[in-house]
Amino acid sequence: MKIAIFYGSTTCYTEMAGEKIQQQLEVLLDTKIDMFNIENVALSRSQEYDFIIFGISTWDFGELQEDWESSWDDIKSLQLSGKTVALYGLGDQLGYADWFQDALGMLHDALIPLQVDVIGFWPTAGYEYTASKAEIGDGEFFVGLSLDDENQYDETDDRIEHWCNQLVEELHQINT
């Protein structure tokens, strides 16, 4: 299984989280995981992979991170049908409580029409915010791993570790 992480990151937090996810999954799955900054690499390269992890941060009151913004129109022409996808996002639940992780939700919504299988939903318990476009169902889950290095930096490593283990389990279920 070919696996890659594609991320956009303005002040490096999404990048740092991606590096941790990469390291953990490489150990858990005993395979190499490629990692690309979409500032420099076209999103179309994601088509070369079977399992793709997308990382995004939210900026400016519920807006997309700038490199995602620049690549946004490319998403709809990606040929990702039948591929497995997981998402993670960086946000600030106290500073931007009305828009927490909105870009994560927008990315999920943009990928769904491509007929991908999304794994790695993450519980909303343990966060304090007012509204988020990244919630799914009855608000019990985010559409992907939600990280907040502004307010909950101490939890990031544990969350990444749990999420990576969850991804491995879900991948195993898909492939059996």
Q: Which residues sit at the interface with ligand FMN, rule CB under 6 A?
A: 9-14, 57-62, 65, 90-92, 96, 99-102, 149-150
Residue with smallest beta-carbon separation from ligand FMN: 91
Q: Least distance from C-beta 39 to ligand FMN, angstroms?
A: 11
Where do runs of H (alpha helix) occur along the chain? 13-29, 66-75, 102-111, 153-174
Question: Which tokens sit at 110?
Answer: 């943009």
Q: Which is nearer to ligand FMN, 18 or 84 (CB)?
A: 18
Task: For ligand FMN, give the closer residue by CB, 90 or 119.
Answer: 90
Least Å distance between CB 150 and ligand FMN? 6
Residues 6+ apart with CB under 8 A from 159: 122, 145, 146, 147
Is 55 in a helix, a strand, or coil?
strand
User: Residue 5 or 171: which CB sits closer to ligand FMN?
Assistant: 5
DSSP designation for 147: E
